[in-house]
Amino acid sequence: MGPDSLSEILKALPNRKDDNLMVGYDTTDDAAVYKLSDDIALILTTDFFPPMIEDPYLFGQIAATNSLSDVYAMGGKPIVSLNLVGYPQKSDLTILGDILRGGADKVIESESTIAGGHTIDVDTPVYGLAVAGIVHPDKILTNDGLKLGDALILTKPIGSGLVASGYNSGKTPEETLQNAIKHMTVLNKYPAEIMLRHNAHACTDITGFGFLGHLEEMLADRLGADIFIENVPLIEGAYEVAAQGVKTGGGKRNRQHIIHKVEYHESSERDPYLDALLFDPQTAGGLLISIPHDEKDALMEEMVEAGVPAAYVGRVREAGEKLITLYDKEEDAE
């Protein structure tokens, strides 16, 4: 569902105050955080969706990678997960076994445990996880903690939504789909571990609201950002898919939600295909990290050494008439 619909629904929900609830749904953070003691807070999150690819094992891996990601974005470590499954009971159950095996392999890679789950009979398969993680209450990374002058680092290329949509309509080559799968099955555990060794101020993972949508949530109308389009990494072949006119409903909703807060600098020309990728909803996308500018190079060096395809994509500035300004190149923003 789009961000506009969700915000209206959530505003109307009744709730009770709990002083131990450190992060709830009244913010746009990636997960809920509940304080258990002075040293431990519990991170709670869930995610599930229908298949976007045909291979059931890879679908299970992607869904689990996506579900675990919110814990890493909050600076935490996953400890236990529950499977959330909808599957047609009359279909081949070996396919379901492959989905669950894919998810289990990613949970094991995260060094956490699957403890059970819940399954229902539905017409269209869905799969994901409910995940619990832990973090020190003083070390939680929310998505709106960025500070003036911070550098913005993106740890995975974008374009998975358009690539998957194009594949289902016969417009994405198999090689491009495999390029996307390669990134969608990599846990955000690895850049998160590097991030935590530096003084990151804020973090989010790029999923359904797209790169610019999640950036807008981070800025929270409090600060602005300059984005260097040339630096934003794209899944290899994704631009060519966009150039064939592939679109997604999620990308359209994301654009409508925040386009009034986005501008192209006068030195830059709008490329409609790059534009579509900047709003493209992602599955198992990367982390968007806000870090002091003077720590950018050290962070990036570690990312490169670890094989993380991270990129310096922008910087945090004071809020202006528009929340986000897009520049073709970094030097155009000087």
Q: How many helices (H) and strands (E) does the chain have?
A: 11, 13
b/e string for 302-312 if b means 16 or more Cβ within 10 A?
bbeeeebbbbb
65 among the known binding-site residues? no
CB contact at 8 A, 238 and 283: no
User: Residue type at 333?
Assistant: A
Hey, which residues does 119 pair with through a beta bridge?
85
29 among the known binding-site residues? yes
124 among the known binding-site residues? no
Give 99's contacts (C-beta < 8 A, 6+ positions apart). 56, 57, 59, 60, 63, 85, 87, 125, 127
Q: How many CB atoms lie within 10 A of CB 294?
A: 10
28 among the known binding-site residues? yes
Q: How many CB atoms lie within 10 A of CB 119?
A: 14
205 among the known binding-site residues? yes
**Residue 170 φ/ψ region, left for φ over 0, alpha for ψ in the -120 to 50 degree band, beta for the rest:** left
19 among the known binding-site residues? no
Q: How far apart are CA 150 and CA 262, in angstroms?
A: 19
26 among the known binding-site residues? no
b/e string for 120-142 if b means 16 or more Cβ within 10 A?
eeeeebbbbbbbbbbbebeebbb
Three state DSSP letters for 280-331: CCCCCCCEEEEECHHHHHHHHHHHHHCCCCCEEEEEEEECCCCCEEEECCHH
144 among the known binding-site residues? no
117 among the known binding-site residues? yes
275 among the known binding-site residues? no
Give 262's contacts (C-beta < 8 A, 6+ positions apart). 212, 322, 323, 324, 325, 326
| Residues contributing to the annotated binding site | 27-30, 47, 70, 117-119, 205
| Residues contributing to the annotated binding site for Mg(2+) | 30, 70, 205
| Residues contributing to the annotated binding site for ATP | 27-29, 47, 70, 117-119
